[in-house]
Structure 1
Amino acid sequence: MSKRTADQGGMGAGPLKDRDRPDAMDVDEKPNEMGEFEDEFEDEFESDDEIIEAGVDGRPDAEREAEEAAAMDVDGGGPGTFIVGRTQLDPGQTLTPDTSTYKMLHSLSTPWPCLSFDIVRDRLGEDRSVYPATMYTVAGTQADSNKAADNALMVMKFSGLSKMNAEDGEESSDDEDDDEDADPILESKSIPIGSTINRIRAHQAPSSDPSRPFTTLTASMTESTNVFIHDISPHLAAFDTPGTVITPQQNKPLCTIRAHKAEGYAVDWSPLHPAGKLLTGDNDGLIYVTTRSDGGGFVTDTRPFQGHTSSVEDIQWSPSEASVFASASSDGTVRVWDVRSKSRKPALTMQISNTDVNVISWSKQQTHLLASGADDGEWAVWDLRQWKPSADASKPGRPTPIASFNYHKEQITSIEWHPKDDSIVAVAAGDNTVTLWDLAVELDDEESKDTAGVQDVPPQLLFVHYQKLAKELHWHPQIPGALVATGEDFSVFRTISV
């Protein structure tokens, strides 16, 4: 299964199948590990392409407002209304964000595109809103096919992430720095892998080293079928200790899982097993569990969990039950399992889509809620309390979602609940967008009349962010409202909506 590989086309391009890989980004052969990145908007007016900027077009307010009013009189939205998946850009036109709608917005480039990444929790504080912000991430690269040996696990530090300037709509607060002009900085440490990393996840386990409270582990599922577990604690520490040299030994994996005979995209660490308990699923539909022992070693149970009739696309441990996990598959089902089962068969099987189910997200606030995203662009929310075992195992149940949206017209590539708000969901899709949704929104009759001019735009849609080749997104668990998304580049942003 390779639909998660980066698409080469622009908006509206379909998913790539059968291990197609995109062309590489145009980069230097040996980029520096540390680079200072310019603001993505600094040179936008030097381009010959036409730039469309919502709400900021240089015309007199009266002229612009008159055109907007006329556009809203047209059924389904007029020429002044850009609707994802409905409105087509003319040749040479591009979209640029309305910066007044962002609290923070930065774009950072890596030497090669990254299909997957994860955010690493740090010791800089919880619920922080001080700018410039700093965050730590891990990512896996997708080098050009003729340069597969260049693929690496990247340990990264993003710093100098400043807030938007006051004139762009951001108001200062007492707990924020006044340094609005700081340039974003990306520092990186690379661990050679030699194969495309399809999915990567980080986990922090208690450490026996008195000099550090925990060990940061990563699990990387690769195109080679191997899963590599690394300890990246030395790499993270090196960012704050100038002159530190990472040794070849520190770049070696702690463990290489060779149980899979096909590549995969599904991997997750259990949040309820501090030492480390890992699930991995592959394109043959098999799922394996690997457990870290008290001595620090890893043991993979060679008996796979079986039930899916096609590739396992995503997998997630329950946030509240230590032995339970859910998996999503291109067979259109989501299955719920118990690792204590001797049969290695699913406890529940639900047919939730007629197309591939690419991604799932288990709410940490309301643990009976599971969100899913499918290949047809639909995403939905399910109440697991309503799922019941089918009397006939060969005929999976077909539950009714408590909410579903088909706003996106391309495959859903990533979905994640807000870590603190049980009604907010972020979604990434193949239409080059990241959307934010508020499931608590309900329109009364009067509000429905006010929004009747724009069809097919659900009232729960809070925000649309343009992200070329959007592949994966994550909320930052310690910076409220901050999102990181990967595609052609990394976007780090925070909107005024959340």
Structure 2
Amino acid sequence: MAKRPNEFTEGDLDNLKNGERAGSTAKLGEATTPVKDGIGEFEDPYEDEMESDEDVVEAETASEMDEEEDEDEAMDVDTEAYRISRPQEPLAEGEVLEADPSAFHMLHNMGTKWPCLSFDILPDHLGDNRQTYPATIYLVTGTQASKPKDNEITVMKLSGLSRMKQDPDDSEDEESDSDDDENSDAILESRHIPVSTTTNRIRTSPYSLQNNEYLTATMLETGNVNIYNVTTHFTSLESPGNPVPQSANAPLASLNMHRGVEGYAIDWSPLIPQGRLLTGDNAGKIYHTTRSDNGKFVPDSSPFTGHTSSIEELQWSPAERTVFASASADGTVKIWDVRQKNKKFVLSVDVSSSDVNVASWNPTTQHLLATGADDGVWGVWDLRTFSNAATGGNVSPVASFTWHQQPITSVEWNANDDTVVAVGSADGTVTLWNLAVEEDSEETAASGGGKSGGVGDAPDQLMFEHYCEGVREVHWVKQMPGVVVATGEKGFSVFKTISV
């Protein structure tokens, strides 16, 4: 079976921007056996005469040069990067995509029984800023099973995540090539909570580790909001041998304020340790739920209204305890304050002519909000300019990218680097972007003042492109800088690139 490398890295970008292809002129999937041009094959018309040493040396040199050229061509073919978001040509029958190992520090792909529309990273006790291998990551997710009764909430432990095997010729310390961090087998362990419907979106409280209470909220296909305490499930994975009692599978709360209207938007406050929740539905209603002193979750009796279509994303401000942003299929982003008694938005900005599917509030540069839309465009907005819209002024993004050709399904700032963004798209790719990279003005002028979107016109800020079929959601692992987890139609992909 023929294979196409599919990872597109900064080195490939450099080649493309210099007018070179990231590969050879031969088509992958075709025979690439070197074809000799006759040099090195000799027919001596004077069989009784011996060739001179000089002739032999010249012939051998020519043959060696020819073989080196053929080897270079073969190597070029092997390293051609196939662009998922910009396919040069469809995959031929019998061709599959293969990741380029030299582009990764770590790469693991994990199949699941059912696809998962959403997941979240569970903070653990293993420490921050982890750089060593083998690595361990905890996740919580909800399934989209073919039958409602087969669905579940799953708490997972991924351990034995080893780094990519390095080429000894490229390693300064060859002894490290046999270390356990390269040879360990990845292990998946899980604990399950049965549910009777698909989980559209799932989020865990950012205070779970601090409070030793892993509060996990789910937006269900039925319109209900269920809140679970998965601490027992997490502990059972952290310390094997501890069983999970049946009673631990019951939700702490099952809220029906959305009255059967399906929804996808949900977010925990990053500033309220006891737990404060926002949920939004397809009718354009947003509910604010607080936790009382006795531990009960109490939603407001009336919703926030103002959107004319479904709420696709909700994001609490990382700096203001009462402020949040919403993104909607009506193409707008709105800013709200829960103290507003009339439950109306404070500011509203048109950010897209299509559905705004996702948004991410920068956790450290708190005036920046990233959004992604159905038309494949994702951008970054300076919230300090949103007040211009209230007086009839124009509001423009500080950055906007049209690289993806299909809907943006996920966007998230890197918690360890406030200039780096991960983007997922329905085109089957996860892209990593560095907004600290400035656009090459000479290059832009040479291309007529803008990017055409072709393979040779990749934006300067695009660092990496990774294949994940049917990617739904992408998250950075905060405790492991540079590590990304994505969920798609086939399961999960966990990776760390050499670019981040």
Question: What TM bracket, shorter-length normalisation?
Answer: 0.7 to 0.9
Partner residue of 1:341? 340
Report SS of the residue matched to 1:51: strand
Whole-angstrom distance in 1 between the partners of 2:353 and 2:114: 34
Answer yes or no: is the 8 Å Cα contact 2:199–2:218 preserved in 1. yes
The Cα shift of 1:263 comes to 0.6
Matches of 1:301 and 1:254 in 2, distance apart?
18
Contact 1:142 1:197 survives alignment (8 Å) = yes
1:172, distance to aligned residue in structure 2 (A): 7.0
Alignment of 1:426 onto 2:422: yes
The answer to whether residue 105 in structure 2 is matched with residue 153 in structure 1 is no
State the alpha-carbon separation in 2 of the partners of residues 173 and 469 from structure 1.
38
Shift in alpha-carbon separation, 1:278–1:173, aligned structure 2, 3 A? farther
CA contact (8 A) 1:198 1:221 kept: yes
**1:443 and 1:205, CA in 2 relative to 1: closer, same or farther beyond 3 A?**
closer
8 A contact 2:348–2:390 mirrored in 1: no
Partner of 2:456: 455
Distance 2:239 2:70 in 1: 56
CA–CA distance in structure 2, aligned partners of residues 53 and 265 of structure 1: 35
Give a deviation string over 1:378-428, Cα, whole Å, max 9, x none: 000001111116458xxx865211110000000000000110212111000
Shift of 1:239: 1.1
Report what 1:17 is aligned to. none
- Say if 2:97 is the partner of 1:98: no
| Equivalent residue, structure 1, for 2:130 | 128
- One-letter identity of the residue aligned with 1:129: Q
> Secondary structure of the equivalent of 2:182?
coil
1:400 maps to 2:396: yes
Stretch of structure 1 that moved more, 338-347 or 81-90: 81-90
**1:369 to 1:65, Cα distance in 2 relative to 1, 3 A:** farther
In terms of mean alpha carbon deviation, does 291-300 or 259-268 score higher?
Answer: 291-300
Q: Distance in 1 between matches of 2:201 and 2:359?
A: 14
Alignment match, 2:478: 477
Say whether the 8 Å CA contact 1:349–1:389 is kept in structure 2.
no
SS at match of 1:491: strand
Q: Specify the code of the residue in structure 2 equivalent to 1:401.
A: P
Identify the residue that residue 292 of structure 1 maps to in structure 2. 291
TM-fit CA distance, 1:173: 11
What SS does structure 1 have at the residue aligned with 2:235?
A: helix
From the superposition, tell whether residues 101 and 356 of structure 1 become closer, same or farther in structure 2 (CA, over 3 Å). same
- State the distance in 1 between where 2:230 and 2:143 align: 16
User: Counterpart in 2 of 1:51?
Assistant: 3
Structure 2 counterparts to residues 121-270 of structure 1, below 5 A? 121-144=123-146, 147-167=147-167, 178-205=180-207, 213-261=211-259, 262-270=261-269
Q: Distance in 2 between matches of 1:424 and 1:279?
A: 26
Deviates more, 1:57-66 or 1:318-327: 57-66
In the TM superposition, residue 455 of structure 1 has moved relative to its aligned partner by 3.3
Contact 1:140–1:153 (CA under 8 A) maintained in structure 2: yes
How much does 1:241 deviate?
Answer: 2.9
> Could you tell me how far apart the structure 2 residues matched to 1:190 and 1:314 are?
27
Deviations 1:422-451 (A, max 9, x none): 211100000000000111112446777799
Q: Does 1:371 align with 2:363?
A: no
C-alpha change, 1:140 and 1:66, in structure 2 (3 Å) is same
Count of residue correspondences:
433
One-letter amino acid matched to 1:411? P
C-alpha distance 279-173 of structure 1, shift in aligned 2 (>3 A) = farther
As a proportion of its length, which structure holds more helix? 2
Shift of 1:292: 1.2
> Aligned letter for 2:369?
L
When residues 95 and 252 of structure 1 are mapped into structure 2, their CA distance, relative to the original with a 3 A threshold, is same
1:357 shift after superposition = 0.1
Kindly report the root-mean-square deviation, in angstroms, between the aligned alpha carbons of the 2 structures.
2.9
What TM-score do the two structures reach when normalised by structure 2?
Answer: 0.81
Residue 377 of structure 2 contacts residue 408 of structure 2 at CA under 8 Å; is this kept in 1? yes
CA gap of 1:66–1:254, structure 2 versus 1, over 3 A, is same
Q: Distance in 1 between matches of 2:81 and 2:233?
A: 49
- Aligned with residue 410 of structure 1, among 397, 406, 413: 406
Q: What letter matches 2:292 in structure 1? A: S
Q: Which residue identity is paired with 1:425?
A: V
Asked if 1:494 corresponds to 2:496, the answer is yes
- Give the AA of the match of 1:87: Q
CA contact (8 A) 2:155 2:233 kept: yes
Match in the other structure for 1:354: 353
Q: How many angstroms does 1:297 deviate by?
A: 1.3
List alignment gaps of at least 5 residues for structure 1. Answer: 1-47, 71-78
Answer whether contact 2:5 2:81 (CA < 8 A) is retained: no
Q: Secondary structure at the match of 2:85?
A: coil
Distance of 1:184 and 1:96 partners within structure 2: 19
- Give secondary structure in 1 for the equivalent of 2:371: strand
Structure 2 CA distance for aligned equivalents of residues 391 and 383 of structure 1: 15
Query: 1:349-391: per-residue Cα shift (whole Å, max 9, x none)?
Result: 1111000000000001210000000000000000111111645
Percent of pairs with identical residues: 49
Alpha carbons of 1:155 and 1:83: their partners in 2 closer, same or farther (altered >3 Å)?
Answer: closer
Structure index of larger Rg: 2
1:179 is paired with a residue whose SS is helix
Q: Which residue identity is paired with 1:188? A: S
